[in-house]
Chain A
Amino acid sequence: DAGVTQSPTHLIKTRGQQVTLRCSPKSGHDTVSWYQQALGQGPQFIFQYYEEEERQRGNFPDRFSGHQFPNYSSELNVNALLLGDSALYLCASSLADSSNQPQHFGDGTRLSIL
């Protein structure tokens, strides 16, 4: 049973560029959430996608956007990259309408901004 998979593993970009990160949810899951984890900090919630729509959003600017596809996979896009966007980006999947099922995380994409 494949867990949550994310690509790429590592990415290096320069300020002002744009980046797209990808996530495939755990088999059977239909909801995808994205988190940003800065060094030495806990993950911060960016947004959540369900039925191809953004269902919830944390305190992140509009430079952060996303998409969910019919097969439940998801992308996170970040525009106009800043040095402060350097972090581990985590994807978590879950099953909607199931209070007994927690979120399961992938190993993340490590994004470095030069």
Chain B
Amino acid sequence: QKEVEQDPGPLSVPEGAIVSLNCTYSNSAFQYFMWYRQYSRKGPELLMYTYSSGNKEDGRFTAQVDKSSKYISLFIRDSQPSDSATYLCAMSAVGGGADGLTFGKGTHLIIQP
């Protein structure tokens, strides 16, 4: 079993829909959780950074962490064609830059105009 599981997709939804992306993990030491967006031939771009359980909202994006279930989610409201990309979840036991990140495989998201 991999440390972080993420459905690779592709996930195709119509423009304007609410998108739900998820990851599960097995290492209970993880305390910091991130979502990155990666366009083709580009590096990962940080979207959300959260600590421990709870919700965090930033514009159209909401990140949720449920440590008891070892489950994290990213919701995208009012999805746009420009949101089409690969979404990577990442996590670490130590915050900031002091720890190597463990990534999921990434979910390929397609927003249909």
Contacts and interface: CB of A to CB of B under 8 A. Distances in A.
A78 interface: no
Interface residues of A, number: 35
A56 B94 CA distance: 12
A108 B6 CA distance: 22
B44 A43 contact: yes
A49 B42 CA distance: 23
Nearest to B95: A99
Nearest to B48: A102
Query: How extensive is the interface on chain B, given as a class?
Result: 20 to 34
Interface stretch (A12-20, A61-69, A79-87, A88-96): A88-96
Given A90-B43, A90-B44, A104-B46, A45 B96 contact: no
Closest A-B pairs by Cβ, 3 of them = A94-B97, A99-B95, A42-B103
Given A56-B99, A97-B98, A107-B41, 19 more contacts: A40-B105, A42-B4, A42-B90, A42-B104, A43-B103, A48-B100, A93-B97, A94-B96, A96-B98, A98-B95, A98-B97, A100-B95, A100-B96, A102-B32, A102-B34, A103-B97, A104-B46, A105-B45, A108-B43
20 contacts: A29-B97, A40-B8, A41-B105, A42-B88, A42-B106, A43-B103, A47-B100, A92-B97, A97-B96, A97-B98, A98-B95, A100-B95, A102-B34, A102-B96, A102-B97, A103-B46, A104-B46, A105-B45, A107-B41, A108-B43
